[in-house]
Amino acid sequence: MASHLYLCSTPLNMLVASLIALSKPADKHILAAIDQPGGKAHGLFDMINAWPESPFQNTRVISYKQKGLRNKRNARREAFANIEQLLAENTFEYIYTGNDRRIEFQYAMHLAADTTIGVYMDDGTYSYIGKKSHWLSDKIIDAGIKKLSYGSWWRQPADIGASSWIKQAWLFKPEQAMAHLQSRTCFKIPAINQTAMASLTSIACQQAGLNSAELRDIQLLVLLPHESVLSPANATLLSQLLNKADTAHSAVKLHPRCQQLPAQLQHAIQNCKTLPSSIPVELLLPALPACKVVADMSTVLLTIRWLRPDIRVEALPQAGHSSWMELLANNQIQEFKI
């Protein structure tokens, strides 16, 4: 029986970790939340803890986001102590991350046995269009400061997932991934386990005061952008779409960092069902029919397409993103037009 440690900073990391763990029922799996905002773990972490079908034998929080140099330094020391304790209690054959530049992952790999395998989990966009390091600010200045601060074990990968720690990669679309990821031993992320994930969806809906049965009749779902990035042109497009829509079978979902509807769209949205911001959209997928989803340009477009290929996904227009548009086109995601 192999032991797996998943270091997860985002809801997508937690979802991918769950899909991988569910595919290996005979193994031991521990979920560790890192860099959590607001002094508490993301709501999905609590949902997983309440999930009867959870594949994780143990969960814990390793670190929280902090502001200010002193608070960040103290938080890093606490995170290191938590990692040391976790590795003292367990021997892991595999340690997973969605970003191998994260200090928690690198410190865990530094302490782990030489035989421990570092594994990259698909975190969306960067797996396919990359996020390269700048030769001066990242590779020399930042890397030098971190080696002095943390130790000589710190490594500055040229791209996300490119460090020498990473030997394997779990990807939604291995054949489309960056070359440095394809050079690792690659595995395709398993499809949604409908039975197990439907149970997690039900828990998420209950915690948000939403009846999951209400999702079955949705034919149009609009994932609202954050108000700060909603352009006048896209606000007009969405207003036209929602004014024409069958409101009895249409819904909008608030942006994860928003608690109220964008002022520009309140009139058009008033008769549509509003889904809470607290539920990651990926958790809604087991309960949705083969509907149409319209969203701003983000990783969520891709994850919906990959996890539910029967759902039609369209992207709001955004100029100056040729690499993004190429990635969307390669995955049959069209630009939304009235």
Residue 258 DSSP label: -
Complete domains list, the chain, with CATH: 3-188 (3.40.50), 212-335 (3.40.50.11110)
Answer with the residue of higher pLDDT: 232 or 95.
95
Mean pLDDT for the stretch of residues 18-47: 94
Cα–Cα distance measured from residue 186 to residue 250, given in angstroms and rounded to the nearest whole number:
38
Give 303-319 pLDDT, tens digit per residue: 999 999 999 999 998 86
Give 197-212 pLDDT, tens digit per residue: 999 999 999 998 888 8
Q: Which residues of 133-142 are buried (b: 16+ CB within 10 A; e: fewer)?
A: beeeeeeeeb
pTM: 0.92
The predicted pLDDT at position 140 comes to 62
Mean pLDDT for the stretch of residues 266-282: 85
Out of 136-140, 168-172, 187-191, 326-330, which region has the weakest mean confidence (pLDDT)? 136-140
Find the angle CA(332)-CA(333)-CA(336) to the nearest 5 degrees.
140
